[in-house]
Each structure stands twice: as structure tokens, then as C-alpha cells.
Amino acid sequence: MPAYDFTAPRLFVAAALAEGVILPLDRAQANYLLNVLRKGPDDPVLLFNGRDGEWRAHLVQTGRKDADLHVAARTRPQTPAADLHYLFAPLKSARLDYLAQKAVEMGAGTIRPVITRFTQGERVNMNRLRANAVEAAEQCGILAIPDCPEPERLPRVLDGLAPERLLVFCDEDAPVRDPVRALREAADPQAPPSLAVLVGPEGGFSGEERALIRDRPNTLALSLGPRILRADTAAVAVLALVQAVLGDAR
């Protein structure tokens, strides 16, 4: 794993990044760098836009509250977006913030809200979800910004999954047995398939939803142990297992 420079702040920007580019900062960004982090002209700032890799830039103050970033050199090449889909029933906002950030940190490349029968609050603040995904990427050295598609109902989400994508369905009713072995039996760790994980709402899945999910071919109903986990806990648990056995943490 490349040694990241975690002392330098990382900022997501929309602009194209190349040597010599000068990026005027908005007031909030200038205040954050100048006054909150108290960065000066010799302090590097790392920039990424999800397309051009990571670049080192230097802060040039242009006024009492204004500053530009002068892009100097590329520090890391662009990495491809992660292929792992994280499908989840939306939770109330604070827990949704946590869940979105952890899914990104754990390597999800698509974060899709799934509306189920017992979902609390079907309206999902997608701007907030995307902002959390960007914040997690900024903090964790992730270069590709996850895709956050609009919420869809469970049947459409299942229909939209490519048949070859293994769906790991977090099912507290599945037999409690060795989840690592269950994942190894569901796919070849030497040639892992594309992956999706699905976690339900606080109220769990309805009986007919459970049947619908289990009827999908190439789906593994996976127990995460004998205790009922909160949905945001289940998110981290299943992503850690899947990444360790079939994903990028092998």
C-alpha cells in the first residue's frame, strides 16, 4: 500500500488538475485552509477530482480572506472506481451519514439506497449522502468518488443487478455458521465475481422481500453472527468480511 501523506489536507475539487493550474478557492475553502488548519505557502495541499489522480498544490494567499491553490505535481495516479455495490435501506440522517462514510472507507464504489417495506423515511437527502461520500474519500486517501444513484425500490434494484454479480444478502435468519467459509463456497476467491451487499432497515425485511431476495440466482444469504446488529453496524461487519474473503483486502 503506498505511503500516504496524511499530514497534508486532501481536498476534492471539480476542476481539471495539471501542473501549473491555478485554482481560486471559495471563501469556505480559503477559511478552512488559512484559518482552521492555519496552512501557509510552504504547506502542501493534496487535491483530487476523481479523474486525474492526486496532485500536490501550494497555497498562495491573495487577500485577507482569499487564496489560490497552485497545482505543482502529481503524487498518485488515478485509481479505477471500486466495483463493489453497497445496497442499503435508508436510515435516519445521523446514522445514514455514518453508514455512507463507512461504506466508502470499506471500499464500496456504488452506494445505492433501497426502499423496502419497513424503510424509515423514504426521502433520502442525496446531496448529503454524496457529501458524506466525498468527505470519506478526502479523509481516507480514496481517489475515485463513489457513485450514489437515486433510491429505488427493492424489486427494481434486484432486477438491475447483473446476473453474474454475487449478491451477499445480510440475513439475520440465515443459519449462523462460518461466514468466511460461506463466502468462499459462494465464489472462487482466486477469481472473485463482481459483488454487491444488501443490508435491511431497522425493521428488517418483510417475509415477501426475503423470499424475493433469496429467489434471485447468485445470491448468498449470510448470517453475521448470533446477535442482531444495527444496520450501520451490519454494514461495516459485512463489508469487512466480503473485502477480506473476496474483495480488495485479501
In sequence order, which residues have a C-beta less than 8 Å from that of residue 194 and are 6 or more positions away?
83, 85, 162, 164, 165, 166
Between 45 and 199, CB nearer to ligand SAH: 199
Between 108 and 231, CB nearer to ligand SAH: 231
The set of long-range contacts for 130-137, using a CB threshold of 8 Å and a minimum separation of 24, is 132/96, 132/97, 132/100, 132/101, 132/104, 133/100, 133/101, 133/104, 134/12, 135/101, 136/100, 136/101, 136/102, 136/104, 136/105, 137/12, 137/48, 137/104
Q: How far is CA 115 from CA 49, 226, 243, in A?
A: 30, 26, 25
Tell me the residue nearest to ligand SAH as measured from the CB: 200
CB of residue 170 vs ligand SAH: minimum separation in angstroms? Answer: 3
In sequence order, which residues have a C-beta less than 8 Å from that of residue 11 and are 6 or more positions away?
29, 45, 46, 47, 48, 138
| Interaction residues for ligand SAH, span 214-243 (CB under 6 A) | 223-225, 227-229, 231, 234
Tell me how far apart the alpha carbons of residues 59 and 61 are, in angstroms, rounded to a whole number.
Answer: 6
Between 34 and 197, CB nearer to ligand SAH: 197
Between 183 and 224, CB nearer to ligand SAH: 224
Local structure of residue 147 (DSSP, 8 states): B
| Interaction residues for ligand SAH, span 198-217 (CB under 6 A) | 199-200, 202-205
Q: Which of 137, 170, 182, 186 binds ligand SAH (CB under 6 A)?
A: 170
Taking CB under 6 A as the binding criterion, the range among 3-11, 121-129, 140-148, 194-202 that sits at the site for ligand SAH is 194-202
Taking CB under 6 A as the binding criterion, the range among 34-42, 66-74, 167-175, 211-219 that sits at the site for ligand SAH is 167-175
Residues touching ligand SAH: how many (CB under 6 A)? 17
Between 183 and 231, CB nearer to ligand SAH: 231
CB of residue 118 vs ligand SAH: minimum separation in angstroms? Answer: 8
CB of residue 207 vs ligand SAH: minimum separation in angstroms? Answer: 12
CB of residue 88 vs ligand SAH: minimum separation in angstroms? Answer: 9
Local structure of residue 51 (DSSP, 8 states): S
Tell me how far apart the alpha carbons of residues 97 and 75 are, in angstroms, rounded to a whole number.
Answer: 29
Sheet holding 22-24, edge to edge: 10-12, 44-48, 54-61, 67-76, 22-24
Between 67 and 198, CB nearer to ligand SAH: 198
Between 67 and 241, CB nearer to ligand SAH: 241
Interacting residue ranges for ligand SAH, rule: CB under 6 A: 170-172, 199-200, 202-205, 223-225, 227-229, 231, 234
